Amino acid sequence: MLFVCKLVGQLLLLLGLTETGNMLTNHFHLLIPGNVLGMLLLFVLLLTGVVPLKAVEETANFLLRHMVFFFLPITAGIISCMSLFWKNGLPLLVILVGGTAISLAVTGWTGQFLLARRKKGAISEDAHDNIVSGRHARELS
């Protein structure tokens, strides 16, 4: 029972940050989606240590393990709108392929940048390994 209460509390924290992001986006008419802003807020709070990793870790892991279930309603919705895809298929395909290519390129460039810094000695091998594995965030909490 205590475990369930802990998960609910962590979920409420995550939902609160998401809603905060939504409210900020609506209030300031930002061009970034509210849920993305909420995740950025969570990232900053974790990075600064205001929210320790253990405050959201179990619920985040639970949500990640069961992520496939969150895609079922989306998939059903997409199937029900197939006429839209037939009508606008080429632009959607270009957006999907282009977005994927940009994501792959940015990820590759980031990895090359970190490796170059490690080779120059600007960042120690231990620090690099901690950044890549996420250990630095866990140790802050």
Q: How far is the C-alpha of 42 from the C-alpha of 47, rounded, in Å?
A: 8
Delimit the domains of the chain by residue range.
1-65, 83-141
Q: Contact 51/13 with Cβ under 8 angstroms?
A: yes
Q: Angle 2-28/57-65 helices, nearest 10 degrees?
A: 90
The answer to whether the CB of 51 falls within 8 A of the CB of 45 is: yes
Q: 7-16, 19-28, 36-45, 126-135: which range is least confident on average?
A: 126-135
- pLDDT tens digits, 104-117: 999 999 989 888 87
Helix, strand, coil abundance in the chain, percent, nearest 5: 85, 0, 15
Stated pTM of the model: 0.57
The residues near 66 (Cβ < 8 Å, ≥ 6 apart) are none
